């Protein structure tokens, strides 16, 4: 059974860097079959896809985040991470890690973590 679990600080100060980790169990994140994504849910913007990393290490980012985003993976720990720099109030929200398949017809988000709330405030 595949499970995803987000972790990270719930509170980040403006202009600082938000760092989150998604621990994956039940499947290897280095598998070539999957994309591993981050999705944010905020009251004003709804659900936003932030970016993904493939099992090969290839990444693709939403242009809205690209200039301040890094998604990486640690295969030895079977987890992947998000770093978002220069955060503002607008980065407050619930962050989910999710899985989708490589095959184009299967790239919907089939497995979700429970989400972690991040608040940006001084």
Partner 1 sequence: EIVLTQSPGTLSLSPGERATLSCRASQSVGTIYLAWYQQKPGQAPRLLIYGASTRATGIPDRFIGSGSGTDFTLTISRLEPEDFAVYYCQQYSGSLPWTFGQGTKVEI
Considering the complex, state which of residue 16 and residue 100 has its C-beta at the smaller distance from partner 1.
100
Say how far apart CA 79 and CA 25 lie, in whole Å.
9
The stretch among 7-15, 25-33, 69-77, 99-107 that binds partner 1 (CB under 8 A) is: 99-107
Q: Residues in the chain, how many? A: 122
Choice from 32, 46, 88, 121 touching partner 1 (CB under 8 A): 46
The answer to the question of residue 10 lying near partner 1 (CB under 8 A) is no
Q: Does 36 bind partner 1 (CB under 8 A)?
A: no
What DSSP string runs through 31-76?
Answer: -TTEEEEEEEEETTTEEEEEEEEETTS-EEE-TTTGGGEEEEEETT
The site for partner 1 (CB under 8 A) is made up of: 46-49, 60, 62-64, 96, 100, 104-110, 112-115
């Amino acid at each position: 059974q595949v499970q995803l679990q987000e972790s990270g600080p719930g509170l980040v100060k403006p202009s600082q860097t938000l760092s989150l980790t998604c621990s994956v169990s039940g499947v290897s994140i280095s598998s070539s079959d999957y994309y591993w994504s981050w999705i944010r849910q905020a009251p004003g913007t709804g659900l936003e896809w932030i970016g993904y990393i493939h099992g090969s290490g290839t990444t693709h980012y939403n242009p809205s985040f690209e200039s301040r985003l890094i998604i990486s993976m640690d295969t030895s720990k079977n987890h992947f991470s998000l770093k978002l720099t220069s955060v503002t109030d607008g980065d407050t929200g619930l962050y989910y890690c999710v899985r989708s398949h490589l095959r184009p017809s299967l790239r919907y988000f089939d497995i979700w973590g429970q989400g972690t709330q991040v608040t940006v405030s001084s």
